[in-house]
Amino acid sequence: MKQYKPKDFAEMINVSVKTLQRWDNEGVLIAYRNPKGRRYYTEEQYQQYMGIQSENKVGKTLIYARVSNQGQKDDLENQIEFLKTFANARGMIVDEIVTDIGSGLNYNRKQWNKLIDRCAEGEVS
């Protein structure tokens, strides 16, 4: 696995080296240490920080969108397009799109409840 010095890693994720040091001390993004005690970061940490999924994940990637009533169908399509764009920008391939039309104030949402069950079964990553 590729390793990065703190300066290089800070540039990659667009923060300062001081921020990386603080995050390490606070347990937010813990650096690895070499035998001399110097910090370094890995490609895996970069991918995790950037939200890039690894190749060996098991489960589908899907997006969920919901609107409150039938009159908001256009908004639903806009949500779906936004979520697709977001996922593609992060390097994710969307396997499935799940939508619901119904109130967000109760949990009588068929597709949402099915999605929760699928997550519990490990079908969805």
10-27 pLDDT, tens per residue?
A: 999 999 999 999 999 999
pTM, two decimals, is 0.49
Number of H helices, E strands in the chain: 5, 5
**Domain range 3-50, its CATH number among 2.60.120.960, 3.40.50.150, 3.60.20.30, 1.10.1660.10:** 1.10.1660.10
**Alpha-carbon separation of residue 4 from 23, 28, 35, 88 (angstroms):** 16, 18, 15, 26
| Cβ atoms 54, 47 nearer than 8 A | yes
Of 16, 68, 103, 125, which one is the catalytic site residue? 68
Is 68 annotated in the active site?
A: yes
| Cβ atoms 71, 60 nearer than 8 A | no
Q: In terms of CATH architecture, what is 62-120?
A: 3-Layer(aba) Sandwich (3.40)
Residue spans per domain, the chain: 3-50, 62-120
| Residue-wise pLDDT tens digits, 16-59 | 999 999 999 999 999 999 999 999 999 889 988 888 766 555 56
Question: Could you write out the three-class secondary structure of the chain?
Answer: CCEECHHHHHHHHCCCHHHHHHHHHHCCCCCEECCCCCEEEEHHHHHHHHCCCCCCCCCECEEEEEECCHHHHHHHHHHHHHHHHHHHHCCCCCCEEEEEECCCCCCCCHHHHHHHHHHHCCCEC
| Residue-wise pLDDT tens digits, 75-114 | 999 999 999 888 888 778 888 888 888 776 777 778 878 8
Per CATH, 3-50 and 62-120 having the same topology is answered no
